Structure 1
Amino acid sequence: MIDTTIFQDKVAVYYTLGCKLNFAETSSIGKTLKEAGVRTARKGEKADICVINTCSVTEMADKKCRQAIHRLSRQHPGAFIVVTGCYAQLKPGQVAEIEGVDLVLGAEQKGELMNYLGNLEKHAHGEAVVTATKDIRTFSPSCSRGDRTRYFLKVQDGCDYFCSYCTIPFARGRSRNGKIEDLVAQARQAAAEGGKEIVLTGVNIGDFGKTTGETFFDLVKALDEVEGIERYRISSIEPNLLTDEIIEYVARSRRFMPHFHIPLQSGCDEVLKLMRRRYDTALFASKVAKIKSLMPDAFIGVDVIVGTRGETPEYFERAYEFIKGLDVTQLHVFSYSERPGTQALKIDYVVPATEKHARSQRLLELSDEKTKAFYARHIGQEAEVLMEKSKAGAPMHGFTKNYIRVELTHDDKLDNHLVKVRLGDFNEDETALKGTIL
């Protein structure tokens, strides 16, 4: 039995790097500490506990993690510093040696943080508690919103794909998931707390069911029956796992939004083979066409990696033209980063850093064109927007069903409310459309 008396009136800060799944897990950690009597630090307040949930998708992510640890150590002298997440799992010894770090927790231990905090005494050297990747088996549930309006429901963790450029299977272990009945119960609890929108998160959510003999489509149908939740959004789902039956179901569902995020990574078949992806450009194009045939106004976000080993200038141009011709809304562009232990390091052709940057800029400009064109098509239309929390005095923002960002004059009473608006022109920085309440 954990003695929680030592946590009473303690103050904590949380810092998250990386994906939506990390944010969901940090929020759950915060909820666990809150139940033990720990409150979140106010602005400028010194904390007793710092929890840093790390990412390791690129070398830059590793660098940002180290910078965050140093910064929080300076800002909160004497605080008990806990580091978890992908960087902690992959390089626990390196993290433990960073000055100020007291505890490093791997993927298997993240969900049981309370069991490792002890009496919060500072250590001369950081202690690392990390299970070997091959032995990671636990699925730690999470359905939290933190200081956000939307809930993030973790449905799956880990990955069995081992793409040539990626370390995520080594950081998070094999694919595993929760039971549908348990995930439905979490969604019902979110509804009871007043939640109206849930984002389904995971590492490879389309692979759902590996550990329970269920399917992602089964999960979608079950969640769609939960009363009180108005909106679901499916986070990143592999194109080869986005089945026609899922697309068709979303098209007729009241609760699942016309919003898809599909990783492409490259628009060139030769590069996809080097990446060890499990589809080709023809399959990807067919998924986009299927979505648009049933949901012409659907928002489609696409992940793209530029400058991976083997991406010759000719291959990039082929990829660029393919992406340009896709009816998608937004590109999430990542510059390839060499990760130790990955198979991509065996590929000879290396793209210079300056060329990576130039390719990235071209794709970002293309993304901007596509997003603005998508937004512009909706100017003058009526839409329902779920408003989100914002700082006092700042404009409020929310999203339409198809993920158009809408700006309204600040009004606290609108937080977490669905509001009917008429979509106006772009705001000043062209990141949203101005809305007028109907």
Structure 2
Amino acid sequence: MQRTVAFYTLGCKLNFAETSTIARDLEQQGFQKVPFQNSADLYVINTCSVTENADKKFRSVVRQAQKSNPEAYIAVVGCYAQLQPDQIAAIPGVDLVLGATEKFKIGDYLEDLDKQDHGKVHSCEISEADFYVSSYAIGDRTRAFLKVQDGCDYKCTYCTIPLARGISRSDTFENVLQNAAEISQKGIREIVLTGVNIGDYGKGEFGNKKHEHTFLQLVQGLDAVPGIERLRISSIEPNLLQNEIIDFVAGSRCFVPHFHIPLQSGSNTILRRMRRRYMRELYAERVERIRSVMPNACIGVDVIVGFPGETEAHFLETYEFLLSLEISYLHVFTYSERPDTLAADMDGVVSQQERKRRSKMLRSLSAKKRRTFYESQLGTDHTVLFEGENKKGYIHGFTENYVKVKAPWNPELVNTLHRIRLEAIDSDGLVRFQALEPISIP
């Protein structure tokens, strides 16, 4: 009988891209992919370790797999697997743990799927992760996540990503354009560029720090690829988001007016403790530049609360700074200590209760910012891409500037683009619209 495999991905868009690539490889080796909630012979869990909550979620996913099939073989890959392989291998039910250099060779370790008394570890020193593996995710969504870069050379004091993924390195310019063309030929309407630090795009393999191409050149090249309808930049550091990139996106053929720019703190004192590569003044300049050339652009922000040494005054600096910026939403992260990071040993620890209070305040601010942004878009015309899921009788979609809309469920709308006029915000916070001329139908 054909062996079955199910996948679960924790964490970022980059992980989704890599899971999809691993899945295609295993399907080529004869595995049949099934939903994770089904009974499978093999479960592959792609992990994240950005926060303590991600670690805890992983354990619950292992239990879920065991519940579906107690005899299933469980393989674990991803950042947590690289950082804590022995700890993971000791968890009941885990059979195989693969580090950063081995996760794309998973098929080599699956000759038999006999349960193990203790998980086997095939790991590496992170310095060995000096090569690049192309990845993109399609099939699960109306959007595709296209990996263009991996690893990070930054040394932020709270972050484990350089320890989990290694040095910054990039796909070739030609390969990214080829992958983007392949994705669009499969009927995917939107491609999201992803990586660990995509603004650093261009560094080659084996520690070559010379940029063969810049991120601006990549954006310009992708915009010229025939057949692509929408391109979206996932997350880009403010110091790497050059004005030339912003200006090009403003006049591009298919890049959408949506930027997600990590801030982490609105206090320059805390930014220095974090070893970020900018001050708040530069961040404000970037937001102002976007607004000047794309007034309707959506701007998302990452922010961390409760970092060691963050006093109430520092937090209020962040709050007031965010309040003053013309941004659209926040992703709020409650700081959690990560092993082997400099921040884990810093003084000025903020209590858990205080971290939660500050997080709650910023989440409330985010809701207000999103509401204000949505209100500013009422009466304007946009293009919506409808998603593929029936949610309580409604289909949801996103405009090019990331306003979330809804309509009564109609499967014919899935993965189609339509011109709409935003009309009103519903009680659930989503936007109702008037349909205009459809511009693209499968």
How many residue pairs align between the two structures? 430
Contact in 1 for aligned 2:298/2:401 (Cα 8 Å): yes
Q: For residues 99-126 of structure 1, what are the alpha-carbon distances to aligned partners after superposition, in whole Å with 9 as ceiling and x for unaligned?
A: 1111111111122221222222222221
Distance apart, 1:436 and its partner CA = 2.8
Aligned residue identity for 2:142: T
Q: Does 1:12 align with 2:5?
A: yes
What is the TM-score when the length of structure 2 is the normalising length?
0.95
Counterpart of 1:48, as a letter, is D
Mapped partners of 1:284, 1:388: distance in 2: 32
- Please tell me whether the aligned partners of residues 196 and 228 of structure 1 are also in contact (alpha carbons under 8 angstroms): no
| Conserved? CA contact 2:7–2:36, under 8 Å | no
Of 178, 185, 192, 1:192 maps to: 185
Match of 1:83 in 2: 76
Alpha carbons 2:6, 2:42 under 8 Å: kept: yes
Match of 2:440 in 1: none
CA–CA separation in structure 2 for the residues paired with 1:354 and 1:9: 51
1:107 equivalenced with 2:104 (yes/no): no
Q: Which amino acid is 1:133 matched to? A: I
What is the aligned partner in structure 2 of residue 34 from structure 1?
27
Which of 88, 91, 103 is matched with 1:98 structurally? 91
User: 1:47 is matched with which residue?
Assistant: 40
Task: Check the 8 A contact 2:36/2:65 in 1, yes or no.
Answer: no
- Counterpart of 1:209 in structure 2 is 202
Which AA in structure 1 matches 2:28?
E
Gaps of 5+ in 1: 1-7
Q: What residue in structure 2 maps to residue 5 of structure 1?
A: none
1:301-360: CA deviation from partner (whole Å, max 9, x where unpaired): 000000000101111111111111011000100000011111113321111111111111
Aligned position for 1:376: 375
Letter aligned with residue 234 of structure 1? I
1:178 CA displacement = 0.5
The separation in 1 between residues aligned to 2:183 and 2:287, in whole angstroms, is 31
* Contact 2:7–2:35 (CA under 8 A) maintained in structure 1: no
- 1:324 and 2:317 equivalent? no
Cα separation, 2, equivalents of 1:36 and 1:428: 48
* Paired residues of 1:385 and 1:419 also in contact (CA < 8 A): yes
1:374 corresponds to which letter in structure 2? F
Q: Distance in 2 between matches of 1:256 and 1:44?
A: 36
Q: 3-state DSSP class of the match of 1:101?
A: coil
For residue 146 of structure 1, the aligned residue among 116, 122, 139 is 139
Higher mean C-alpha deviation, range 116-125 or range 354-363: 116-125
Q: For 2:307 and 2:49, how far apart are their aligned partners in 1?
A: 17
For 1:130-141, what aligned pairs fall within 5 Å after superposition? 130-141=123-134
Match of 2:285 in 1: 286
How far apart in 1 are the matches of 2:222 and 2:35? 35
Match of 1:72 among 53, 65, 72: 65
CA shift in 2, pair 1:332/1:393, >3 Å: closer
Q: Give how far 1:127 is off.
A: 0.8
Q: Describe the SS at the equivalent of 2:146.
A: strand
CA contact (8 A) 1:408 1:436 kept: no
1:305 equivalent in alignment to 2:304: yes
Say which is worse superposed, 246-255 or 27-36, in terms of deviation: 27-36
CA distance in 2: counterparts of 1:47 and 1:81, whole angstroms: 10
2:231: which partner in 1?
232
Corresponding residue number in structure 2 for 1:25? 18
- In structure 2, list runs of 5 or more residues that go unmatched: 205-210, 437-442
Letter in 1 for 2:433: G
Name the structure 2 match of 1:4: none
- Do structure 1's residue 173 and structure 2's residue 173 form an aligned pair? no
SS at match of 1:283: helix
- 1:434 equivalent to 2:427? Answer no
2:431 alignment partner AA: L
Amino acid at match of 2:3: K
Task: State the secondary structure of the residue aligned to 1:71.
Answer: helix
